[in-house]
Amino acid sequence: MRSTHTAYWYANPDARRWQTAAPASALPFHRTLAGYSATPLTELPSLATELGVGRVFLKDESNRLGLPAFKILGASWAVCRALCERQGLDAGTMTVPELRGHLHSGADAGSLPVLVTATDGNHGRAVSRMAALLGLSARIYIPNGLSAAAVDAIRGEGAELVEVDAIYDDVVAAAAASTAGSGRDVLIQDTAWAGYTDIPRWIVDGYTTLFAEIDGSLAQSGHAGADLVACPVGVGSLAHAMVDHYRNPGTSAPSLLSVEPETAACIAQSLRAGEPVVVDTSFPTIMSGLNCGTPSELGWPSLLAGLDGAVSVSEEDCRQAVLDLGDLGQDAGPCGASTLAGVRAALADSERRRQLGITQDSVIVLVSTEGLAANPLR
């Protein structure tokens, strides 16, 4: 099925009762990375007043391990797992310097692995950074419409860029096809399809570090947990991590909201249809990192069962959210600020508030996945 863009809303009244197994934790590995620290969880009282709730916090991913977005969490763990599998090493005890040493011990440059991926920005830069840290090459496929700043940032990591005159989904296919039959190429893609699930699963596991940090920060400030967590959605990998983190017996059960552009609302449309829907992503959006047309096959069951709500947002509302967060001293690019636009759209309607279980005492967490350096406002 294909469709044009409009405003979408979806609610699942059974989501908080659904449970799944706890995902594997990548937090111990992330703590071994040079420069690791939990990113800030900043309280924004003026937004709590505006939204009619108790507290609002912003999870700020504008500086994650020296990069302006969260993607390095998934890329670092997936790269480590994938390369350790090839080398017969235990990723659970491996650090990046140790892995680099193993890879280069007795190897010539022509036999070293090459990291390959398709990206609409931040994931490709994260994979490129991991290649640089490991002394490897990276080949990054990019679609039409990627900002000059994003292109320059990936090139700045030393990667080879391959520009493809196509939409994102077709660029993913091109990157995957380029690795066929290669003994060196390692595809590190953040979406799954039949026969390609291990690496996307490891990327999702890496992203759960972000939500574990949220829980830790809330606990330190005296809160048992969030009542609503909102995150941006592209193919759904980050939302998959959010659902699996919060829908297991060992955690609280907040409402979970996905947010995506009206021009590329593949998750919201799929949830409404009850099956994966492919949407046309040829329309431009300032939320370039969310301009994805096909839900991840790996994440779909968790999203269908565990998301309380899904909302799409307009370009204008997202742009305003970027500006409003900037006025509050928060560095949020369009993808990151989309969660504020999405929560505003959800909570402006009394029935939607009821569906999400929001009261005047609720604690809301907005996940801001990128800073403006990752995706400047255009």
- Annotated active-site positions, please? 71, 120
Helix (H, G, I), strand (E, B) or coil at 184: coil
Q: Give helix then strand counts, H and E, for the chain.
A: 14, 11
Angle, alpha carbons 338-340-344 (nearest 5°): 115
What are the distances in angstroms from CA 29 to CA 86, 87, 302?
18, 18, 25
Helix (H, G, I), strand (E, B) or coil at 365: strand
Task: Annotate 42-63 with b (16+ C-beta within 10 A) or e (fewer).
Answer: bebeebbeebebebbbbbbbbb
CA distance 364 to 255: 9
Helix (H, G, I), strand (E, B) or coil at 370: strand
Query: With contact defined as beta carbons under 8 Å apart, do 332 and 311 qualify?
Result: no
Instruction: Give 70: exposed, middle or buried? Use CB within 10 Å, 0-12, 13-18, 19+.
Output: buried
Structure tokens at 126: 């994260």
Query: What sign has the CA pseudo-torsion 167, 172, 176, 179?
Result: positive
Instruction: Give 225: exposed, middle or buried? Use CB within 10 Å, 0-12, 13-18, 19+.
Output: middle
Beta strands 363-368 and 255-261: pairing type? Answer: unpaired
CA distance 233 to 248: 21
Structure tokens at 84: 């350790």
